[in-house]
Amino acid sequence: MPVIQGRTRKQIRQSVGYSLGAMQTGTAYDAGSTTTLISLTLTGGDDVHNGKWILVSDTSNSDNTETRLVSDYTASAYRLTLVQALSFATAAGDTYELWDGPYSPDAIHDFINQSIISVTGNAYDPIENISLHGDGHQTRFDVPSNISMISRVDYRNKVKFTRIHSCATTFDEVATPTGFTQKLDTKDKKQGTQSLQIAFAAGASAGAFIADSITAIDISAYDTIEMWVKVTGISSALVAGNLKLHLDDGTVTADGNDKESLNLPAISPDTWTFARMSLGNPESDIAIASVGLEHDADLGAGVTVWIDDIVAVANDTAEWTTLDRRNWRIDKEARDLILGRDGHDAVGYSLIKIVGGDKPALLSSDTTTTEVDENFIIANTVNLALISTSGGPATDPDAKRQLSAYWAAQSERARRALPLLVNVRQVE
């Protein structure tokens, strides 16, 4: 099970600072400049804060935070002078953190992320991905980029659906526009005996479409359209929305007034993609009698599109079967999910669900939140900070190594409390 606490980097950093006894917070009292900050809560005589680090939050600029080294403190004016100018002039209300010299906030950020990295495999961002689909032939699948560990592979064995178009006939409801050529392809297909191939020539213009009439069907009980798409003749992925699927109770016109106008997702070149699009207004789709494909952007000559098996499905009716772990494995070098013979036979033409997760996210800004237990992150970060500044016995007057041992024990206790991921296979 994942550990999700949701504390921000700022909250974690300040807890670390308090635990180290190395940080104080405050608010600017009056306007300063790009190199000065004035705060009445600062204490001590002249130069007492020299060599410390200050992290300033610019409240007038979306809470932008910047870290600078303090070069001088003037007690009578409650003024800190910074070695390097900020990108903004300090103003009343700006908040700050003042850190002792050995502990740079930037180093603390690095220790925080080191702590998160160290528990990869014990904490993760849970994900269920249904972007893969069996085709009766394929045994090797690219693992989605947001998956770094897999605990289970399921396949959809049942779902309520209705077929809108098998793509076993050409679209002839309206005249094929200039620059379009249609034909049935019995060799390159995904379902049934053939697919519909549409080639674009130089005369094909953006907004052109083909359409076909069908026996009126009621798809108001469904929420998603599924279909297969392949595109060749492009050098990079087709942008989402370059192709649109239209559904209407009259004749598709591609004028924006059809019952449904659905953007096909991004499509990589030269490979079949299983596309899933949510219906916009299924409650009104009670008598769909026309289906069309729109060429929404001028893709240029030489582009060919294949489409196959357009169906409407009701997602909440899906029933899933877990694939036996003996029937799938991971090729870590290729980041591929590989089905064994029995796994391939079981999946067949089914939608595949990968249950697993991503590596816990590193914290890149003060507002980002962690998926890892903050007790572990704080304890481990404090330990790392103490170790980094302790030195040997002769140079450790503050007994930082002794304190480090305490925080290391706290860190290990928190680590042991993290859930062990059972039967998880690493992708990389």
Residue 87's nearest CA partner among 33, 137, 139, 144 is: 33
Strands 303-322 and 149-165: antiparallel
Q: Calculate Rg over the CA atoms of the chain.
A: 30
Q: Are the beta carbons of 99 and 52 closer than 8 angstroms?
A: yes
Residues 280, 219 share a domain: yes
Average pLDDT of the chain to the nearest whole number: 91
Query: Structure tokens of 402?
Result: 């002794």
User: Are 60 and 188 members of one domain?
Assistant: no
Residue 22 CA to residue 225 CA, distance in Å, equals 57
**CA pair distance 79, 101, nearest whole angstrom:** 18
Q: HSE (CB half, 13 Å, CA atoms) of 205? A: 3
Task: Tell me, yes or no, whether 369 lies in a domain.
Answer: no
The pLDDT tens digits of the residues spanning 84-137 come to 999 999 999 999 999 999 999 999 999 999 999 998 777 777 789 999 999 888
Alpha carbons 7 and 29: distance in angstroms, whole number: 28
pLDDT of 291-302, one tens digit each?
999 988 877 788
Q: Does 3 have pLDDT greater than 50?
A: no
Least confident of 25-39, 62-76, 295-309: 295-309
Q: CA nearest 125: which of 376, 367, 362, 375?
A: 362
Q: Do residues 307 and 351 share a domain?
A: no
- Are residues 328 and 308 part of one domain? no
- My answer on whether 193 and 333 are in the same domain is no
Residue 175 lies in a domain: yes
One domain, residues 96 and 233: no
Same domain, yes or no: 170 and 310? yes
Q: Which pLDDT score, from 0 to 100, does residue 396 have?
A: 62
95 and 172 part of one domain: no
Torsion of CA 329, 334, 335, 336, to 10 degrees: -50
Residue 201: pLDDT band (50, 70, 90) is: confident
Q: Which of the residue ranges 38-47, 251-260, 341-350 would you say has the lowest mean pLDDT?
A: 251-260
User: What are φ and ψ of residue 129, in 5° steps?
Assistant: -120, 130
Q: Is residue 344 part of a domain?
A: yes
3-state SS record for 341-374:
HHHHHHHCCCEEEEEEEECCCCCCCCCCECCCCH
**Alpha-carbon distance values, 333 to 133, 142, 218, 398, 426 (Å):** 22, 11, 47, 47, 11
Number of domains within the chain? 3
Q: Does the pLDDT of residue 394 top 80, yes or no?
A: no
Domain of residue 345: give its range.
131-148+320-358
Residue 136 lies in a domain: yes
Does 286 lie in the same domain as 178?
yes
Report the distance separating Cα 233 and Cα 243, nearest Å: 15
Reported as a pLDDT band with limits 50, 70 and 90, residue 340 is very high
In a domain, 126, yes or no: no
Q: What CATH code is carried by the domain that includes residue 78?
A: 2.60.40
Report the CATH number that the domain containing residue 200 is assigned in CATH. 2.60.120.430
For the chain, how are helix, strand and coil distributed in percent, rounded to 5?
20, 40, 45
Which neighbouring-strand residues pair with 227? Answer: 275
The residues near 187 (Cβ < 8 Å, ≥ 6 apart) are none
Q: Minimal CA–CA distance to 145: which of 330, 335, 275?
A: 335
Length of the chain as a residue count:
428
**Sign, Cα dihedral of 248, 249, 250, 251:** positive
- Same domain, yes or no: 354 and 342: yes
Whole-number Å distance between alpha carbons of 370 and 364: 10
Is residue 338 domain-resident? yes
Q: Examine residue 13 and state whether it is found in any structural domain, yes or no.
A: no
Specify whether 261 is located in the same domain as 352: no
- Same domain assignment for residues 142 and 260: no
Q: Is residue 371 included in any domain, yes or no?
A: no
